[in-house]
Every structure is written in structure tokens, then in C-alpha cells.
Structure 1
Amino acid sequence: MKKQNQEIRDLVYVHLNENGQYVISYGVEFVEFALSLPRSLNHLLLLKHKFDDGEVNRHTQLEYVTKDMIRKLAQDNIYGYGDFCWIDFEENEGLDELTGNEIAELLYLGHLKQHLKMPFYNKLGNRYVYLSRDDGWFNKTYYRHMNDFYRMLGQVISIKLADLKLEKTLIGLRKKRSYPPVNLDIILSLSKFMREGTVFSLRNAVQNRNRIEIPIWVIGDFDNMDDMFEEYNQMKTEKCDAKLVFEKRNREWTLVAP
């Protein structure tokens, strides 16, 4: 079984393909993704899944999840599904208008996690295509608008930091702190690194009274996350390529890069 839970929570790998409008990632789970989008998800057409409470669209013979059921889906053991693939859509009528070729394209997406043609359909109004294997272990996500990815990543890093950096209060209880999302301009400035394949290592974050420093390494393009981990374990002893720095006093993020 793949390295689950703790490792997925404290390491984020991103390989950005702007021309293809997709991102290969490790460490971003569905629940974090859904919470971090600039706009909440609408309905989801499920291409590969093991969710028990979906509804069936008769035209496509595929199950879907309504907006009201996404919270329940996010609370399920999605990692345990194996493959978890979906495309969002606006209205049921859009599903009923899909042609046979378009349905075949969607099935191909879910089966091979590759597109036959760019997977954005005006009939569906979809913003995303989410294709994962062992959710959080390997994810390939298409974005109609790449800024959605940059904003999502900045929010995910702050969520993960809050989950990891629990601090003891005076009476010994552990308190969860909140952090603002990493500024969009900082994430955008890191796109040159992410095009090559980049690790954000919260597990190697250094904290003192004034700041938290999250090291960033450029490690290359990986589809196999076991290979990515092997490369990361070799590089983590070397000087990092940049650092995300959170200043506690003014609660602001900065980027330190050579």
C-alpha cells in the first residue's frame, strides 16, 4: 500500500503543464482541493469511483453527485477507491446533450487519464477534470482557467501548515492555528520552478519565534511518485532552491530565492 496520510499531508509535488492546461501533483487530496478553489464546485460527473450514493444519468449511463452531496463525498474514504476521476458540470440538461463521441472522450479520460481533445465542454460548463489514483498520491487535474490552480495551491499550503503546526497553549492543550493563503503573486513567481517539477516540503519546515520557512526543491518531471520520492530523498539534504517564508508578526508571506 502506498505511503498514506501523514506523508500526503506534509509534502506537495507539482509539475505544471500550462500548454496542456493540466497539473500533475502529489499531496493534494480531494477534500483540500474542494475547500481551496476560488469558487465552490457544482455537480460532479463521476468517471471512476466507488461512491455509493451517486445518482445515474440515463443518457450517459454514468453516475453523478449533486452539489448538495459533495460534502458527503469528501468525507468518504476516497483514497481507498483506487481510481477517482470526475468532471464538473453545471446542469443535468448538459449531460443529456452530450454526443456519443463526447461520452467516449470522457470514458477515455477516466480510463487512461489522458485526453483525446481538450476536455472542456461548453455543454457542461466544466472548469476542471480531476483524474486521480489513490487520491493524493497521483493526481492529474485539468483547469479551464489556470489561475484557479494558482489560487488553490496557495490555499492548500496554508491548510496543510495549519494541520501540521499545532502549538501548545499555557494549559498544555494543542491549538490549531490558521494561516492566510500564500499570495497569488508569489505562487505565480514560482511557476518557472513548477514547470520543471517542484516539491514544497512542509515536513522540512523550520520554525522559530518570528517565522516559518518552507523549503522548495526543483526535482524534475515525474509520473511515478515512487520515483519522485526517491529523487526527493536524495535532494532534501542539499540546499533548497527557494523558501516560502511566513512572518508571524505581520502574518505575511514572502519568497526567498537566489
Structure 2
Amino acid sequence: MKKHHQDVRDLIYIHLNQTEQYVMSYGIEFEEFAAAFSGSLNHLLLLKHRFDETDFNMHTLLEYCPDAKVNKLAAQDVYGYGDFCWIDFVEEDGLNELTGQEIAELLYLGHLKQHLKIPFYPKLGNRFVYLAHDDGWFNKVYYRSFKDFFHLLSEGISEKLGKVKLEKSLLGIRKKRSYPSVNKEILLSLTPFIKEGICISLKDADHQRGRIEIPIWVIGDFANMDDMYEEYEEISSKNCHAKIIFDKKTKEWKLNVI
């Protein structure tokens, strides 16, 4: 039943696990992640990947993507890698200080997409751990600060809306519309829902003359995205639990909890 990753773009599923500091998601791809943190991502220690232009760390015997090549990596067909897992780090010296136990924890993360201990390492100074299978289909990302997650979501929703609703110009060429980022306060107020697991559906957005209404359904906690998608297909015929609304006149976002 698995959808091709092109279908992923117009539906976002997110479930936030505050205690263990990660977010499970569907519909947000590494390309969008890298764009949201453009210029501020550190080097990426690659735990599972198929990227060719890497550097090699002798201490961990692992390849890494230097920060200067992150954009090149983001332009790849990362979905086609299958497993794509990394942890960011500030200095290579930090990698060289990792103990055997810490390296074992990193390998376990990449292999099972689960942690033995919450994976934030002072030696690495990492903000994230990114664990994906068929990138955009199943993503589990650990965040040192959930501020980063809400930043990604605010950028991602407006970016996706621009891709989904392409405008035809006078010459018939489809051009991308640009929307302001969704206010983080709006998204923060959805936290109780996000902790339960929600779908934000751009494919079901209601495009009216003066506004765009994007429906949100609370659908629960899923690790299997086939099951999540089936649940979404069932619930999407029912009334939604909230809407994010873009006012075309004021160019502002607001939230309507139903």
C-alpha cells in the first residue's frame, strides 16, 4: 500500500513524545528539514546513507557529511536511500573523544532507530538525531530543543502550501506561490493535540476567495505509517478537530479549534 514519496507532500503526520524528546513524522522530507535550518546545520555523522561525497572519521570508522556539503546531500534522492540516519556534531575532535560505549549507542540508533539512552552528547554538541526509513515516509527525529521542531513545522507548512497550490501564470507556466511562515504561537497551542498524534492535510485544504482553511485531525500514536494512512483515510470524511486558517487579505495565520 506504501505510497510513492510524491504523495507524501500534501499530508503531514506528527506525534510528539516529550519525555523521550523525539517526534515521529510522515510527510516532512530531509530537503525541507535542511531548508528550514539552512546555514545553521552542523556536520552530519552518517549512520545509514548512500551519499558519495563524504569525509571519513578514523576513530569511529564512520563517514560524515561536512556542513559545507549539506545542501548537496539535501538535493539527492534521499528517499531512494531506504534507511537514512545521522547525528550532527560541531567539531571532528568531539568524534575522536567518543568512547566505545557511545559509538555502540550510535550504531544501535542507526540500526534499530531506537535509543539506549536519550541521544544528546556534550562531546558532539548535537541538536538532532535524524532516523528515517524511506525519507518522508517514516521519520523519527530527536530534538535537543522542541523550538527547532516548531520552527521546522512553521516553515514546512507554508512551503508545502506553495507547492501544492501552484498558480498558472499568463503564459500557462505553473509558478509557486509564497506564503508567510505559520506563527509558532499557533503551532505551540496545538501541542496537546500533537502529543496525541495529528494529521495536517494540505490535500484537504479548502481554498476560498479570501482564505485558505487547512484541516487537522487528531488520529493517535502510530509507528507504522501504513496504519496511520488507513486511519487518516477513514477519519478524513469526518469533521476535523481544528483548522489553521490563512487570511489572504491580511496575510496572517490563525487557529480555529472546533
Same fold (TM over 0.5): yes
Q: What letter corresponds to residue 17 of structure 2 in structure 1?
A: N
Q: What letter corresponds to residue 218 of structure 1 in structure 2?
A: V
* Correspondence for 2:193: 193
1:54-69 correspondence runs (5 A)? 54-69=54-69
* Correspondence for 1:10: 10
Is 1:230 matched up with 2:230?
yes
* Correspondence for 1:130: 130
Alpha-carbon distance in 2 for matches of 1:44, 1:67: 7
Q: Deviations over 1:20-57 (max 9, x none)?
A: 11000000000101111386211000001111111110
1:117-196 correspondence runs (5 A)? 117-196=117-196
Alpha-carbon distance in 2 for matches of 1:147, 1:39: 17
Q: What letter corresponds to residue 180 of structure 2 in structure 1?
A: P
Q: What letter corresponds to residue 43 of structure 2 in structure 1?
A: H
SS of the residue 1:107 aligns to: helix
How far apart are 1:77 and its partner, in Å?
1.1
How far apart are 1:174 and its partner, in Å?
2.2
Q: What letter corresponds to residue 85 of structure 1 in structure 2?
A: C
1:13-28 correspondence runs (5 A)? 13-28=13-28
Structure 1, gaps ≥5 residues long: none
How far apart are 1:242 and its partner, in Å?
0.5
SS of the residue 1:195 aligns to: helix
Question: Is the contact between residue 84 and residue 133 of structure 2 (CA under 8 Å) also seen in structure 1?
Answer: yes
Most deviating of 181-190 and 171-180? 171-180
Alpha-carbon distance in 2 for matches of 1:99, 1:72: 30
Question: Is the contact between residue 201 and residue 215 of structure 1 (CA under 8 Å) also seen in structure 2?
Answer: yes
Question: Is the contact between residue 32 and residue 156 of structure 1 (CA under 8 Å) also seen in structure 2?
Answer: yes
Q: What letter corresponds to residue 47 of structure 1 in structure 2?
A: L
SS of the residue 1:204 aligns to: coil
SS of the residue 2:203 aligns to: helix
| Sequence identity percentage | 62
Is 1:89 matched up with 2:89?
yes
* Correspondence for 1:207: 207
Question: Is the contact between residue 166 and residue 175 of structure 2 (CA under 8 Å) also seen in structure 1?
Answer: yes
Alpha-carbon distance in 1 for matches of 2:114, 2:139: 12
Alpha-carbon distance in 2 for matches of 1:237, 1:257: 18
Question: Is the contact between residue 38 and residue 148 of structure 1 (CA under 8 Å) also seen in structure 2?
Answer: no
Q: What letter corresponds to residue 61 of structure 2 in structure 1?
A: Q
SS of the residue 2:193 aligns to: helix
Alpha-carbon distance in 2 for matches of 1:33, 1:42: 13
> Normalization by structure 2: what TM-score?
0.97
Question: Is the contact between residue 15 and residue 197 of structure 1 (CA under 8 Å) also seen in structure 2?
Answer: yes
Q: What is the CA RMSD across the aligned residues, in angstroms?
A: 1.2
* Correspondence for 1:77: 77
SS of the residue 1:255 aligns to: strand
* Correspondence for 1:30: 30
Q: Deviations over 1:168-220 (max 9, x none)?
A: 23443322111111101000001111111100000000102201111000011
Question: Is the contact between residue 38 and residue 152 of structure 1 (CA under 8 Å) also seen in structure 2?
Answer: no
* Correspondence for 1:104: 104
Alpha-carbon distance in 1 for matches of 2:202, 2:80: 24
